[in-house]
Amino acid sequence: MPPNIIVFFSDDHAQWALPPYGNSEINAPNITHLAETGALMRNAFTPCPVCSPARASFWTGLYPSQHGVHDHLAEDDDAVGATDWLAGIPTLAERLHEAGYRTALSGKWHCGAGELPKPGFDFWHSAWRKTPKYFTLTNKYSEQGRVVERSGYDSQIITDAAIDFLRTRDRDMPFFLFIGYATTHNPWINRPERLVSHYRKASFRDMPEDIPFPFGDAGTHPIAPADPQEARAQYYASVTMIDEGVGRVLDELVAQRQGERTLIVYTSDHGSNLGHHGIWGKGNGSEPLNMLEESIRVPLILNCPDIIDAGQRRAEFVNHCDLFMTLLDFAECKPADTSHYPGRSFAPQLTGAEDSPWRNIAICEYGPTRAIRDERYKLVLRYAGGGNLLHDLQADPRETVNLYQDADQRGRVESMTAALERFFAEYEVPQNSGLRGDALPVHNRREAWRRRRAI
């Protein structure tokens, strides 16, 4: 029988904000345990550095210019939030359900109409709320389409529902459980004082002293906090809150004697800046928007003692589309025709079944901004204006020097541009192309590219 699968999918949890990736002050023993006894992907990237498009890519295995979601969806907008943006596209949950898995979601969906259970799910506990008070102690949820309110910390309620599914599921079938934590998302306030008080003593020494981002202005989503150190303490506390939830789920697996044969994944939709480069937030933390390393890098840890050897720190460049194919591979239900899927399964690399060459290229898009990154250089093309960028990440890791106009880099710019254009020529769906910019459907009525055009 194929393994059970649990995916912890956090929101705005940057790769740099975990001990296994080098953070020396955050306390996250459970996620660290998963990394030490499993496989850590050192070079994991998001296809898009903002919430809804990245989540849609995880669920569909497609890039935004294929599935059509290009910016975060306003859940408080009736026309936007009530629409199921993935309707008609086969999702990971549907494919696993068809393969015999019992499937569940607890937490954040954020691909539209979150109050309604989606096809392919046996259990639905979506953190959905039509209120701007997204992270207060009263939370609105959808349980199989019935909207209820719960009081308490969001991560704890989500964990409670996840454990509820584990205890009531059909024990004769493999299961897939998606746990969508949003605790690391702004606003960074009101986390448990028992945790925040500890991090107020932190030095935040893992954050570099940066000059302001030279190639754009600070964004307004979110606005820079009045007290940056307090916001950082709250964010660090958020990571520890998530880690506590992970630990509770791991304990439940042990109690059910399922720990050895359950594939556990920890990742996030995209990264985040907490004053890095002088900005706050992710790709829309600057205007024009950015493809900074802190925005596009995500943690990705996979653990399954029966399948994956412990202690791996792998260098392959992978993203959510690759993870989609990898999970289907482990579940033994990869689609027969994969020609329109840009991702590739890295299950053979994790299990030692194959060690074939891997394409160490990361491609990202956010509306009319596209980027391609290899092991040293990153090219960012801003089709809506704002200036194109080329960074030598080896000589300039803080992305402060633009080599795009340098004569001796002309060949590199041309070859990387051609590779980026070949990729989208092969995969994009013309009516869903991010290059349509202002002609794209409304996602939140203040899309990053529309704000830029108004400047």
- Residue 239: CB atoms within 10 Å: 26
Query: E-strand spans in 341-406?
Result: 362-366, 369-373, 377-382, 389-392
**Beta bridge partners of residue 445, listed in sequence order:** none
Q: Residue 137 above 70 pLDDT? A: no
User: In residues, how long is the chain?
Assistant: 455
Closest residue by Cα to residue 272 from 18, 1, 50: 50
Residue type, 8: F
Structure tokens at 343: 């991702």
The tens digit of pLDDT for each residue in 149-178 reads 888 899 999 999 999 999 999 999 999 999
- In Å, what is the CA distance from 354 to each residue of 43, 243, 264, 347? 19, 32, 21, 9
Quick one: average pLDDT of 384-405? 97
Closest residue by Cα to residue 3 from 268, 251, 265, 311: 265
Contact (CB, 8 A) for 428 and 63:
yes
Q: Residue 132 above 60 pLDDT? A: no
Quick one: average pLDDT of 342-361? 92
Q: Residue 403 above 50 pLDDT? A: yes
| Bridge-based pairing state of the strands 138-143 and 123-127 | antiparallel
18: left (phi over 0), alpha (psi -120 to 50) or beta: beta
| pLDDT score recorded for residue 387 | 96
Quick one: average pLDDT of 87-97? 98
Contact (CB, 8 A) for 23 and 41:
no
| pLDDT score recorded for residue 130 | 45
Structure tokens at 108: 């954040």
Residues ≥6 apart with Cβ < 8 Å to 367: 70, 71, 289, 384, 434, 437, 440, 447, 448, 449
| pLDDT score recorded for residue 451 | 59
Contact (CB, 8 A) for 142 and 112:
no
Q: Residue 133 above 50 pLDDT? A: no
Q: Residue 134 above 80 pLDDT? A: no
Mean pLDDT of the chain: 94
**Of the CATH numbers 3.30.200.20, 3.40.50.2300, 1.10.760.10, 3.40.720.10, which one belongs to the domain with range 4-353?**
3.40.720.10
| pLDDT score recorded for residue 151 | 81
| pLDDT score recorded for residue 129 | 57
| pLDDT score recorded for residue 142 | 79
CA distance 80 to 150: 24
CA distance 1 to 378: 42
| pLDDT score recorded for residue 220 | 79
Helix, strand, or coil (residue 262) = strand
What percentage of the chain has pLDDT greater than the value 90? 86
Contact (CB, 8 A) for 138 and 65:
no
Task: Output DSSP code: residue 206.
Answer: T
First to last CA, the chain: 57
